[in-house]
Amino acid sequence: MKKRGDSAISPTREEDYPQWYQQVIKASGLAERSAVRGCMVIRPWGYALWENITSALDAMFKATGIQNAYFPLFIPLSFLEKEAEHVEGFAKECAVVTHHRLEKGPDGDLVPAGRLQEPLVVRPTSETIIGDSFSRWISSYRDLPVLINQWANVVRWELRTRIFLRTSEFLWQEGHTAHATSGEALERTLLMLDIYARLAEQYLALPVIKGRKTASERFPGAVDTFSIEAMMQDRKALQAGTSHFLGQNFARASGIKFQNAEEKEEYAWTTSWGASTRMIGALIMTHGDDDGIILPPRVASAHVVLLPIYRSAQDKSAVMTYTESLARELKEIRYHETLLRVQVDDRDTGGARNWDWIKKGIPLRVEIGPRDIAQNAVYLGRRDKGNTDKISIKRDAFVAKLPQLLDEVQKNLYERALTYRNAHTITLDDRDGFYSLFTPNNADHPEIHGGFALSHWCGSSACEVKLKEELGVTIRCIPLENPSENGACICCGQPSKERVVFAKAY
């Protein structure tokens, strides 16, 4: 027997967190790097997870009156030039299409030909092209609100990519709405933020902080940006969804005007909001352990795998019959809004088979052998427990308890994550303590350190810049549910009325 380490993934989180992240993804079969710079291939196990996330989100959107639509991948360059701050923020890091044909070159290679009169930008986000449609769809207050979402891919030519967290191309949804009043638009902005928080907490088992971004972290062209922020196991913050109140800035840029009930012409008030495949990165880094990823049952690519165990051909036929009948029975069981997703793995690959599923993060593993059949039972392992922590349970009881069992796993994951976040969220008022929290002991190979610091901030961007330069720490958000409290800025000591969340971030 080949000896392996105590854990399936090497290095462990403690040893090298960034490397652990890469290895966990590789071992899980969620995704892999592609031949194209900075772009990933999402494999079936990862795409199933994404589909479960999207269908949950999509249902929540539609429940609030959102309709899906689709807009072009290409945006005329001039569109991006319409909103001044938007130009500032998006001028860089875009893929640009300049030609529309390939011709055979002198060496037999293909060379671009047919130069476009106006270059097309591969959408980094679609405010401008959707705004163009909105400007034609809207002419009266009776046309409002317009509530649109699109599921799409976008391209941002990031300099440093990381699978799921920041890839050149990624999948997301972007919602765009237009309203007759500022108040209604703001309400929509916050409603969508709530939906993201609900998705994170109830489906992904990620505790998040809802908050407002500071001016320097705001979406270019937005009046106000809100986000949900989660803590990863290296104690860095990850923004898992954003919702923007755009005021009338984009309406003005795209000419989205309407006549109000008083017959006066007005610009519409717009919002935009998005969540992406990055959420999968958040899920991996929040729940993963040194044996791989752990999928929360509400979105898991599959809920349970049946692992038949047999020796003789005779055993095999009995075990397979039992396994298949159990699989059929399980597939009928409802779990929240779906049916149970059941896998049967009858490969004869010894113990490696069990480890494969551990690394894939499936919530429940069920072994079925002659011994179990004799007792009309199954042998059950939970991914949120140790890999040898398995129990025998009567088949009937197992079937009856399954949804409840999955909910226990779901709850356990959420509570573990919340406990971790709370343990590393520190209320800090002294500057030295703040600096030591965010300074690693080994600068060349930083250990896991830091956390969320709840500290006062005077409101000046000078202090933000200073802390970012000296510590690499930024204000992740100003929590929405924030008690008013008098204090002194952690950086400059000027008076402050509330605490904000400081952290290192992805």
Partner RNA sequence: CGGGAAGUGGCUCAGCCUGGUAGAGCACAGCGUUCGGGACGCUGGGGUCGUCGGUUCAAAUCCGACCUUCCCGACCA
Q: Which residues bind RNA (CB under 7 A)?
A: 1-2, 4-5, 7-8, 18-19, 21-22, 26, 33, 37-38, 89-90, 92-94, 124-125, 156-163, 166, 217, 219-220, 242, 274, 291, 307, 309, 311, 348-355, 359, 367-372, 379, 446, 468-469, 472, 505-506
Strands (E), 158-236: 169-179, 209-212, 224-231
CB of 369 to RNA, least distance (A): 3
128 and 154 Cβ atoms separated by less than 8 Å: no
Nearest approach, Cβ of residue 304 and RNA (Å): 15
Selection from 171, 412, 159 nearest residue 281 by Cα: 171
The least CB distance from residue 39 to RNA, in Å, is 7
Q: 458: Cβ–Cβ under 8 A, 6 or more apart, which residues?
A: 489, 491, 492, 494, 495, 496
Closest approach, Cβ 37 to RNA, in A, equals: 4
Burial 303-316 (b: 16+ CB within 10 A, else e): bbbbbbbbeeeeeb
- To RNA, the closest distance from the beta carbon of 144 in angstroms equals 23
Q: How far apart are CA 210 and CA 190, in angstroms?
A: 10
**Shortest reach from residue 142's CB to RNA, in Å:** 30
Q: Cα–Cα distance between 88 and 85 in angstroms, integer?
A: 5
To the nearest whole angstrom, how small is the minimum distance from the Cβ of residue 344 to RNA?
14
Cβ nearer to RNA, comparing 278 with 298 = 278
Q: How far is the CB of 218 from RNA (least distance, A)?
A: 7
What is the spatial distance between Cα 194 and Cα 460, in angstroms, rounded to a whole number? 28
| DSSP 8-state code for residue 201 | I
C-beta of 52 vs 125, nearer to RNA: 125
Tokens of 110: 């293909």
CB of 114 to RNA, least distance (A): 24
Least separation in angstroms between CB 119 and RNA: 15
Cα 26 from chain centroid (whole Å): 18
User: In this structure, is the dihedral angle defined by the CA atoms of residues 284, 286, 287 and 292, taken in order, positive or negative?
Assistant: positive
Measured distance CA(408)–CA(284) in Å, rounded: 19
Of 2 and 264, nearer to RNA (C-beta) is: 2
**Which of 254, 373, 272 shows the shortest CA–CA distance to 320?**
373
**Is the CB of 144 or the CB of 366 nearer to RNA?**
366
Residue 151 CB coordination number (10 Å) = 14
Contact 377, 366 (CB under 8 A): no
Compute the least distance from the CB of residue 231 to RNA, in Å.
16
- Nearer Cβ to RNA, position 92 or 104? 92
Nearer to RNA, 427 or 441 (CB): 441
CB burial of residue 26 (10 Å; 0-12, 13-18, 19+) = middle
Nearer to RNA, 144 or 192 (CB): 192
Give the pair of three-digit tokens for residue 401. Answer: 């308890």
Considering the complex, state which of residue 262 and residue 348 has its C-beta at the smaller distance from RNA.
348
Of residues 76 and 472, the one with the C-beta less far from RNA: 472
- Alpha-carbon distance of 171 to 142, in angstroms, equals 33
Per-residue burial over 37-73, b if 16 or more Cβ lie within 10 Å, else e, is ebebebeebbbbbbebbbebbeebbeeeebeeeebeb
State both tokens at 182: 């500022």
Residue 273 CB contacts under 8 Å (≥ 6 apart), including other chains: 174, 175, 189, 192, 193, 196, 241, 242, 243, 244
Nearer to RNA by C-beta: 418 or 505? 505
The least distance separating RNA from the CB of residue 273, rounded to whole angstroms, comes to 10
What the block records as the tokens of 238 is 């990850």
Nearer to RNA, 275 or 299 (CB): 275
Name the residue among 288, 327, 301, 319 with its Cα closest to residue 416: 288
Q: Please identify, using beta-carbon distances, which residue of 446 and 487 lies nearer to RNA.
A: 446
